[in-house]
Structures are given as C-alpha cells and as structure tokens.
Chain A
C-alpha cells in the first residue's frame, strides 16, 4: 500500500538520484536557428559569426540554467515553404526549445505563423517587416531589430528639417521597400504639408537597371531622394547616379546604406553626405560595444558588420529569456519575453509587452569618405523606443491582441 511516508521516501530517493546523476540534467539547452544563409550571405555570414561568439561567451560563463547552450542552425533556402519544414525538423527531430532567426519578410512571417500554430516561441532576428509584430503579430513571436517603420522614422527629422519640396523615391520592389516608401511618404507629409513626391521607381530586387532609373529620377528634377536600396542594387545606383550627375545639389536619404555590409563594397565611391541608418562600428565607444568589438576582433580577426551585432544580440535575448523564465516551458518563456530587458552591444533593449517589438535602436548619420573608404560621420544613436507610434495606435495596428 502506498502510504504518505513511502511516497515521500520514494520522492526523496528520486530527487537524490537526480542530484547524483548530473549527466541527465546536464544535457545542453538546444535552440533552433534558421536563416537564408545562401541567399543573403553578405549579411548572414557575419551574423553567424556574431551568434557563434555569443554562444561561446555564454558557455564560458557556465551556460544557461546550469547547462551548456547549443545552437542547431539550418539554412532555410530563403523560401517560406522550406523554412517551415526546417522549423518542423528543428522542433520535432532536434528537440530544440524554441526558434530564432530568418531574414526576408516572407520567410519571417511564415515561420511566425508556424510558431503560433505550434505554440512555440520565435525570436525573429532580422526581418524588418512591420507586419511581423503588427498586422500579423501573434502571441509567440518577438522581433529584435528595429523595423522598417522605425528606421524610416529615424530619418524623418533630418528629412523634414531640410524643407525640400520635390522628393523622388526609389525602392526594391518587395515588402520591405514598399513599406519603407509608404511610411516615408505618410510621415513626411504629416510633418511637412505640401511636400510633393514627383517620381517613384520600383526596381526588381537585385536587378535594378540603374542607368535608366537614375535618368528617370533626374528627369523629374527632384530636390531630394529617398531610397531603400541595398546590396548590389545600391552599388549600381550610386555609381550610375554619380556618373549621370543625379546627386548634384540633391539631398539623398537611404535606409541601411550605412551598414558596413552595404557601405564597404562601395569603397571610395561611397556617396558623400547621404543621410543613412547604419553601424559606425569603429567609433562607438560605449563599454558594451567596446567589449563586444574586442571579443569579436580577437576571435575572427575581422571587424563586425551589423549582422554580427544582430546575431550576437539574438543569443543574448534568448539566454536572457531562458534565465528570466527559469525553465524551457513555452508559456513561461513567452511570459519572460514580454518586457524582457537586457544589454546588447547597442545598449539596453526591452521587448515591449505591447507589440513584442524590441526597442533596439539604430545609428543615424551621414556618409563620409576617408582614405578611400566610406564611413559614417555626424552620427548619433537613435533609441528604438522613441521611434514607435503611440500605444493606442499600435493597439489598432495589432489586431491579434
């Protein structure tokens, strides 16, 4: 017969056995990471180095919950269907505690919806789409990076200050470029009534016909240009526009162009004076960043790109969430993510309980050229929390909650 005593004794024995057999409790904490490594290698290779560094540091400090941290990383092929399968594999075969990563918005959104279906935490590291936390936001998805809306908003004060009347716009023809353009037009019109948008060019991603685009923009005789091009498109646009005199006497604003991934390939052709968001890695002197920079350079003999910071901070978020939850249960993890605060190389951030967006900021400044290389000058840090819409508006934007 099972008495209270024998039950307790048995329980005691079990606990003792548990303590005596650390091997079982020392199984590593496994987290699943998926990204489009082969589709966007310029950003994601440094990103991978970033998270590798963070994992190494976490484990040197004794891991998380007293266990070693282990990342199972996969290529998602840049394709939502494949990404969902990979995510399934991570959860059911690799038994990872939760998911993180992704780059393009369509993949991020598909994985976010999958996470909701599987009731599993998902930390969207890089996708910038506003929809991930707003229109299609869900209870299980949190996003680290400053969104398209936030980064566009960061450029608005400078853009409005110039009081330029005629604006031309060029953007890569997919969600990121479209929402950046929409946000920019809406926000600038609100700040500067009477502003005119005189030309708009949607270029196929990765395949801009830069000469024709530069000419078409020049024909509209703009006073200023807003662009959200990046990568090869940006390089082509800069070169053709410069040769054709498009930028003479015209102010240019370009999201992301200050990120080393996209700025450095331009070398001495980096466009002087452009207003950009980016990452002046060599000049940020905060202690958090100095520490990160030194560790990164020691490990990889290379300087960090923005992707490195994103990868590094993603792991920091994951670890902070696990520590705060004290467990790997999904509901506890999700509760821990809400309002989670931790430090990153870009300073302290908080995952807002309101819309699951982190307040990670970005650096805003202008491009300068020095020693045959582009760099960011006159930069300042824009804290993410100052560039989000008022709470009431966010609630309206996020129907799911």
Chain B
C-alpha cells in the first residue's frame, strides 16, 4: 500500500464508522439506563433506511428533500422506538433479567415482515446525496464527498450528545440512572417517562444511522441482523453506557475493516494470507482481545451493583421420578402413533431440549449468560462429522467423542469467559462463537467451508427414524438428568451461591471461578452431544450450526420456557421448535406470526411459560385453601 492509499482507506474506515457509531451510541444509551439488551435496534436502523428512501422519493431528490427526508425518518423511527417501549417493554421491567431480550427479539421478527409487506422483497437503491455527488480528489484518488460529510457527522453527534448529557437536566437524570437507577427512582424521578425518552433518543440515533446510509447502502431486509451484531460489538468494545467509548470503538473497527480490505492478499514466508477474508471476523477478534485485556471495554466502568433486578429467583425444586415418568412414557410411545414426521420433529426437539438445558445451567443457576452457546453445539456437530467422514471412525465412536471436542473448546473459551461477568461475559462468548464460526466457514479444505459436510448418516441399526429417536431421547434424557443431578450436588449449590452472592462465597474461601470454569466445560460437552446428535439426524451440517441465529434460538427457548424453572428450557425448546414448524407451514408471514405469539407469551407470562403455569397453579391452590 502506498501512503496515499493508506490515507484513503483511513477515510473509508472513518466514513464507515460514522453510522456504526450512531447506532451503537443509541444502543449504549438504552442499555445504560434500562439494562435492556435491545435486539430490535438493528430493525430500527433498517426502518430508518427504508423510511428515508420513501420520504426522499416523496420530497424529491433535492438537497432539501434529502436532508428533511433523513431527519424526518430518524424522528419517525424514534417514535416507533418509544411506542415499543410504552406498549411492550414497560410491562415487563419487573421480569427476570434478560427477559426483555425475548420481547425485543419478537419485535425483530415482526418488523422484518412489516418491512417486507410495506416495501416488497427487492433491494431499494436510494439516491446519491444531492449536492454532494461530485467526488473529491485526494492525491490522484477520488473519494465521494458524502463520505467526508459522514466523517464530520460522527464527532458532531458525539458533541451534541455530550452537551445533552452534561448540560441538561435530562442528561443528568440519564447519567444518574446509568449509574444507579434504583436511587434515581427513590429520589422521585418518574422512571416511566425517563425510560420512554431514552428509548426515543436511542431509536432516533438508530434511525439516523440508517437514514444516513441511504447513498451508500441499498435498503434490504438483511440489514437488521447484520447491523445489530456490529452494534453490540462496538458498544461492548467501547464500554457499555459510554458514548465516547462507542465513538472510539466504532472508529477502531471501521478502520480495521478498511485496512483488512486495503492490505488484500499478501505473501508472508511463502504463505498466502487473504486479509480481505478476515472482514468476516475482525470485529469479533478485536472484541475478544479488548475484553480479555480490559474486562469492561475501552472506556467502560465496572457496572454498579444492582440491588434489585426483577423478582428474586425462587429456589429450584428437583422434579421427582413420578413427574419424569409422566413425561417420558408418552414420549416412549410416540413412534407407535405412526406419524413418521412427528418422530423426526421429536428428534429435533430432543436435541434442542438438551441444548437449551445445558445453556440454562450456566445462564440460570450459574448466572453466566452465554450469547454464543451455539459454539459448543456446532463444535460437537463438526467434531462428529469430521471424525466420521475424515477420520473414518464408526458413527457410534464419532458420536461418543464429539462431546469431548466440545468440552475441550469450552475448557479454552471458558477460561477467558469466567474472568468476566454480566453482558461482558455474554459478549465474549459471542466473540468466541463467531471466531469458531468463521473458522468453520473459511477453512474450506478441512471443514468444507460454507457448504459444510454432507453424508453424515447414522449406522445401519439406527437408520430408522424410530431407532434414532430413541437414541436421541436416551442421550437427551441422560444429559438432562446429569445436569439436574449436578445442580443439586454441592457443586451446583456453590454455583447458585456464586450467582446470588459472589462476594460472600469468596469470603468463605471458595474460588468461584474454578467452579464456573468447570460448569462451562460440562455444559459445553453436553451441548456438543446435542450438536452431534443433531448432525447425524440431518445427514449434513454447515456453518449454520455455529451461527448467531442458533445461539439466539437457544436463548429464546430458555427464556420462553422460564429461566427460573428446571423444566422451562425443555418446554421452551419443544414449544419453539414445534411453533416454528407449524407456523412456517401455515402462513407466508410466519415471522410476524411467530413474533406476535412470543409477544403474547411475554406479556401474559413474564416468568416464562413454565414459570407462569406454576404461578397460576400456586394461586389456584391458595384460592382453594
């Protein structure tokens, strides 16, 4: 690279960082005050882009039309965000931590289908910015003038936010709530209004970030999820709740990406390294490194101790043999119903139930939320596939060894993860999952690249769907029984104590991290067993078994069923898998229907499905007594 191309790539990186900063600043603001991990933030960005497209087409492609379209789109998105807060989230602030995530996930599904319905499936290429169409020449190279404008908008918005946060009463309240929201409430500040206003501001930023991309990015339906991942990374790298941190992180990541592309393919000691391929994963590498070195992000501070996040978790009750039998017997008889497909679906549910139960152990009782649990599921699946196809091991051996591979990965990843807590820990697990995903995706000659591995079929004696179902049921039931057994052992009790009061636990001389690390390995191995089972039931596997989407599915299953109960994750896995299968078949707009169903569950049962049913039963008993 010459000096002039380095300069240009730097400018490219800065221009790319501008929108990323706006979106992330909004996310950071919302998280800081409300503690909500807002999955729908990317959808708001997408709405900003679509909205700006329509408005600019209506106002005309003039400078005035362009900028008023952008501004109005941002405001409308802000209103949409405020509406989401008032109509949905406000009702569930008392629910267990992270439950709001489920609601925002449902909103993602609904918004995507609304966008499809309103704007159609085709990509919409917006106008280039009127008045800024001529490129600028810098050292014989050309760069669009609009990019330079974007580079200026970033610091401008940062400045405005800084003024708002430090010079207004609203800003003081926001900063106070970010530090200690209970205290703010105790001082008589109307929390509802504060939260709505923060949601409005955060959504305006997301909408503005999207609208400003109009000249650079066609409006399309994939934007929501691709942006939300980037925004999470930037927010965490910068430090949650820190706006200057988000600014710094956005620039770091934007510039790093531009340079990966700029460097291109190089020969180092005879080895060809394609840096452009790194763009898939570079932000997650940065996040992993930053979190390992600075556990609270670049400019973040350790989060204030939360005195009260929803209701305290009720004590766990181990389900007795009778309860287990009531569920197991019908399952054993299921193949007798004669519906072959039901057996296939039940096999899927068995895999996901084990997967969800393993996630539940670390995120519920052990209090370590994982956003990247698919890493272990996927590594188990890949280990099984590779041992079977490449090493030529018999299917049974591949299935038995796969959990070891996943457990080994958890041993390494877990060592880093247990050093963190809360959302930072969750994001580090996500980083590891994405790094694993990109290895599976890129290492063509070994893992089969984007196509994955096909021809992973079970041995002859398990070839029938019924036989395989019994195998899956046995492995899942055995794994779940092991997880429950562990939970009620002294080991499990220590984990729960570590969630509720790490300080006291360490004071009595327990080294909590070692317990947490061991828990990571255990759940990793069991998730790996679920993944290996899944791979052999499908006959193939591809990088989608390590994807963010699958990690999210696992979270949804656990939250849907109820994180405070043992059977909740199983019910959640069954309901989610069944529902998706059923709804997808019945309607074209299955995402919206699915989202609305989840929203209904969220609003009616804020403790999750099983938690809600238990509460109902308890109330009924009290009424009779």
Q: Which residues of B contact A (CB under 8 A)?
A: 1-2, 5, 8-9, 12-13, 15-16, 116, 121-125, 128, 135, 141-144, 147, 215-218, 220-222, 226, 257-258, 261-262, 264-265, 274, 276-277, 279-280, 339-341, 344-345, 348, 441-442, 444, 449-452, 454-455, 457, 534, 538-545, 549, 581, 584-585, 588, 590-591
Contacts and interface: CB of A to CB of B under 8 A. Distances in A.
Interface of A: 37-38, 41-42, 44-45, 74-75, 77, 79-81, 84-85, 88-89, 92-93, 105-106, 109-110, 112-114, 117, 129, 131, 136, 173-175, 178, 199-204, 206-207, 209-213, 215-216, 218-220, 231-232, 235-236, 239-240, 243-245, 261, 264-267, 269
Contact of A110 (B449, B454, B581): B454
Given A79-B544, A202-B274, A235-B123, A105 B450 contact: yes
Contact of B539 (A44, A75, A117): A117
Given A244-B135, A244-B142, A77 B454 contact: no
B279 A42 contact: no
A173 B280 contact: yes
Given A114-B540, A264-B122, A245 B449 contact: no
A200 B264 contact: yes
Given A80-B544, A200-B274, A206-B226, A41 B451 contact: no
A211 B147 contact: yes
B581 A85 contact: yes
Contacts of A218: 141
Contact of A81 (B534, B581, B584): B534
Scoring A199, A201, A211 by chain B CB atoms within 10 A of each residue's CB, the highest score goes to A211
Given A92-B341, A105-B451, A212-B258, A207 B538 contact: no
Given A81-B545, A110-B539, A175-B450, A261 B122 contact: yes
A262 to B, nearest CB: 8
Given A38-B590, A243-B142, A244-B144, 6 more contacts: A79-B549, A85-B348, A200-B264, A206-B222, A211-B12, A265-B218
Contacts of A93: 339-341
5 contacts: A42-B123, A80-B544, A89-B585, A113-B539, A236-B217
Contacts of B257: 209, 212
Scoring A105, A106, A206, A236 by chain B CB atoms within 10 A of each residue's CB, the highest score goes to A106
B454 A215 contact: no
Nearest to B122: A42
B84 to A, nearest CB: 22
B344 A92 contact: yes
A245 B539 contact: no
B121 A81 contact: no
B276 A203 contact: yes
B128 A80 contact: no
A143 to B, nearest CB: 15
B590 A114 contact: no
Contacts of A244: 135, 141-144
B583 to A, nearest CB: 10
Given A114-B540, A235-B123, A129 B451 contact: yes
A264 B588 CA distance: 25
A106 B441 CA distance: 11
A136 B539 CA distance: 14
Nearest to B340: A92
